[in-house]
Amino acid sequence: MPLPMVHMLLAKKIEEKSQQRHNDYFLLGSIAPDSIHTRPGTNRADKHRTHMFESGHGTEYTIKRNRQCVKNVIEEFRHHDENYREFVKGYCIHTILDIMWINKIFNVLESTLRSGGLNFNDIRTIYYHETNICDGIIYNCSSWASEYKNVLKDIDPVGFKDILTKDEVGLWRDGIVSKMDKYENFSGEEKCFYKSNVPIGQDICLGEPHYITYEVILKFINEFIDSLCNYFPGEV
């Protein structure tokens, strides 16, 4: 799955496209589905429930089912107060981004690395190595990131249906804010990793994104917003 700054980059790009600042609860909703990680003893099925996924969630069929589920949820909360409606909208867009990310980013990476003889555990290590570095890169390359951090820090958490409690969302929010604080302490070299252009086939240097670069993420986000506007007109 993409890490938190990818979801916040999406929120910012939606703001830019709509030329309208989000309600703060949209930003909280955009990170909320991953709050399941704060609950002890959870498993993959729990995460699929919070993300409105089905088995085989990387297929075109399940992507279509996810979108329909999201439409139903947005409609279900259409008449709630504005803050909660925006929270739900941010929450739902998070789940759509995740399912498309699996299809367009992770599955492509896995296929590429498997063709080179790597097993799934090695692929997973490379994936999280690169996405963690890029998460910090997004924070340090974005003038809006510290503002978003302050919004998250100050907002009162809410829960989502009977799936996540407000305490779980609050704990996850606090962890992300703490992580953003750490990103501010990146070295100057780390902040410039996005400029790297390492040819495919060379060894991956510690700290340098090789496959999932800042540019790859930005391209994915822009294409995702275009598809979102087609499937959910008026929501972004």
Mean pLDDT of 68-90: 85
Cα 105 to Cα 128: distance, rounded to the nearest angstrom: 12
**What are the tokens at 148?**
């978003």
Is the model more confident about 53 or about 124?
A: 124
Output phi, psi for 160, to 5 deg.
-125, 110
Q: What is the pLDDT of residues 5-38, one digit of tens each?
A: 999 999 999 999 888 888 999 999 999 999 999 9
pLDDT at 176: 96
Per-chain mean pLDDT for the chain? 83
Cα 189 to Cα 206: distance, rounded to the nearest angstrom: 12
Residue ranges of domains in the chain: 4-231
Cα 126 to Cα 120: distance, rounded to the nearest angstrom: 10
User: Is the confidence at residue 196, as pLDDT, over 50?
Assistant: no
Is the model more confident about 198 or about 169?
A: 169
Percent of the chain with pLDDT over 90: 45
Cα 105 to Cα 134: distance, rounded to the nearest angstrom: 14
Per-residue pLDDT band at 204 (split at 50, 70, 90) = very low
Cα 159 to Cα 167: distance, rounded to the nearest angstrom: 8
Q: What is the pLDDT of residues 40-77, one digit of tens each?
A: 998 888 888 888 776 555 566 667 777 777 778 878 88
pLDDT at 201: 35
Residues in the chain: 236
SS3 letters across 42-96: CCHHHHHHHCCCCCCCCCHHHHHHHHHHHHHHHHHCCCCCHHHHHHHHHHHHHHH
